[in-house]
Structure 1
Amino acid sequence: MPDPSGRPVRADARANEDKLLAAAALAFTRDGAGATLKQIAKDAGVGIATLYRRFPTREQLVDATYRYETARLSARTSALLGELPADRALRAWMSQVLDYIATKHGMADTLKTLLQDDERLGSQTREQLTGAIEEFRVAGIGQGVIRPDVPSADILMSLAGVTLVAGAAPQRAQAERLLDLLMDGLTRPTGGTGLVRLRNGSERV
């Protein structure tokens, strides 16, 4: 995250910031709205003064954590596509989206206010996530495993629907099943045979 003053951020300050944001993401997931700045600083291995120097208010920390987690999620496409076929990579990424959503429950009220006050923040998030999905989609079309007729924006909306109705931790198993159904709909029919390749590599009509 750039320094608000526009000044370059020193390497040690950048390292502390990354530690704080990673600790904040974990704390908001683990402790929900009860996550304290003191505990976040402790988990990051820095003093509370360091936290306040970089993030003077809880709102600024929530904003930075949200941007940090969104950027991390969007950047995972290359690694997943390097390890898995595009359809399986997209499915694995969707599970990571559920983890990403879990972080947001702990900062929901503050985040809601931030998104209302800054419409660009929500737009930037949609652009980043749609861009990530497009990478999976293009790779999947090239590999013949993902349908070419479903836009990335539609996939994101479907994914958002799953997180909306089953995004809470106790509903994780249900959310994973819904993601499986979503992937079944995105799997590309193999040419002319009427068969669809399943996630386990088998085929069905």
Structure 2
Amino acid sequence: MMRIPFPTMKYPLIAILRGLKPEETQAVVGTLIEAGFTAIEIPLNSPDPFRSIETAVKMAPDGCLIGAGTVLTTAQVEQLDSVGGKLMVSPNVDPEVISLAAAKGMVTMPGVLTPTEALLAAKAGATGLKFFPASVLGPSGISAIRAILPPDLEIAAVGGVSDTNFGDYAKIGIRSFGLGSSLYKAGMDAAEVGKRARITISAYDAVYGA
């Protein structure tokens, strides 16, 4: 079992850009990086996602983690690798998908909701776990499951998380988040995304310290 470690980031925040179009990628990703984001996820149910991922990979500076969300198959992992993606986020736990992504040097964040799924993902070599939807479990639910997990696993809260509730998760030691609709919705222009990104970074600094 190979486990790729989660990279050290000042802001361990994954921007989830569901619905992003290839022609919008440069402007939207650029403004996010400018605001301080260093992890970008483009879900595969977006228009022509691999083209967008390839664009983002080519423009992002060293130290940025760019990849795909909603990854369901090993064929998609292969395609993600072919465009240089280094982040594999999935909504489920598929050991074959996780282990192939890890073998290709990708950071892997499968989605989990239960202790069974969380332990299965850890056994498969996941870098970290995406507790989704976090709003259903809440900080107390995530904290209870975390007690039985390997301490080196990165834990991220995703779903119903925004700049307004970082503090609730900080109380249980969660520092990593996936941010979707609070940051980006399909069709949103780069200026609006940049504004939301700056608000998010400011809120994160207020809770965790700049």
What TM-score comes out, normalization by structure 1 length? 0.28
Structure 1 or 2: more strand by fraction: 2
Bigger relative CO (Cα 8 Å, ≥ 6 apart): 2
Return the index of the structure with the highest Cα Rg. Answer: 1
Structure 1 or 2: more helix by fraction: 1
What TM-score comes out, normalization by structure 2 length? 0.27
